[in-house]
Structure 1
Amino acid sequence: MDHHPADQFRDHVKPFLISKMEEFCLLGYDKITDEELWTFLKAKKWKKIEGLKVHQIAADILSVKVTDFMNFTTIEAYKNGNTFDRKDAQRLLKDLI
């Protein structure tokens, strides 16, 4: 994604990103990176917002629900063709046998 107005605040809100990732980890989602979370926020929360303020960015980060993030990730995987299909399952089973 191109440069986004929120990118200028990323270093300032890094502790909030880390806190949210720790929360997701406690819920069993331990493979989420700060880059994935930031991409979600830019695509969903800050899609059409100009003139963002750092306190709004921090509040948006802390308000992310794991279900919203996972729904977004799933849809993006389908859009990009990164799905687990029948051939993948057959390869996996073959490797297990």
Structure 2
Amino acid sequence: MESGHSYEAYRNQVTPALNSKREEFEMLGYGSVSGQQLWEFLVQKKWKKQKEGIRLYEIVAEIMAIQPGEFMNHATVEAFKLGSFALDDEDELKELLK
């Protein structure tokens, strides 16, 4: 994650919104997603171009607008990049392709 992201100053203030979105994902059956993972998604995907003079309500609105599908797609791509998803076992590959 970019440590010098300008929105980092709002991180503590938007923690309740991150927690709310995390709970929403759990209620929808997407397993456990951490607030940190949501924040990293926003920084890496949504906030690549930092808006000067952004307001707190705009950050909260963007957190609450995260769709589970777009987050999961991003998480899948990141898992592939990190190499944490391997199909070395032929049985696992056959099971996946059923």
TM-score, normalisation: structure 1: 0.84
User: Corresponding residue for 1:8?
Assistant: 9
Q: 1:43 to 1:16 in 2, by over 3 A?
A: same
What is the alpha-carbon root mean square deviation over aligned residues? 1.6
User: Corresponding residue for 2:60?
Assistant: 58
Tell me whether 1:37 sits opposite 2:38 in the alignment: yes
1:43-72 superposed Cα distances (whole Å, 9 cap, x missing partner): 111110232221110000000000000000
Q: Secondary structure at the match of 2:40?
A: helix
Q: Secondary structure at the match of 1:44?
A: helix
Structure 1 portions without partners, runs of 5+:
91-97
Give the deviation of 1:81 after TM superposition: 1.0
Matched to 2:31, the amino acid is D
Matched to 1:55, the amino acid is Y
Structure 2 portions without partners, runs of 5+:
93-98
Tell me whether 1:84 sits opposite 2:71 in the alignment: no
Give the deviation of 1:30 after TM superposition: 2.7
- Percent identical among aligned pairs is 38
- For these two proteins, the number of residue pairs brought into alignment is 90
Runs of 4 or more, structure 1, over 6 Å off, are none
Give the deviation of 1:88 after TM superposition: 8.8
Q: 1:72 to 1:32 in 2, by over 3 A?
A: same
CA distance in 1 between counterparts of 2:87 and 2:36 reads 26
TM-score, normalisation: structure 2: 0.83
Q: 1:84 to 1:15 in 2, by over 3 A?
A: same
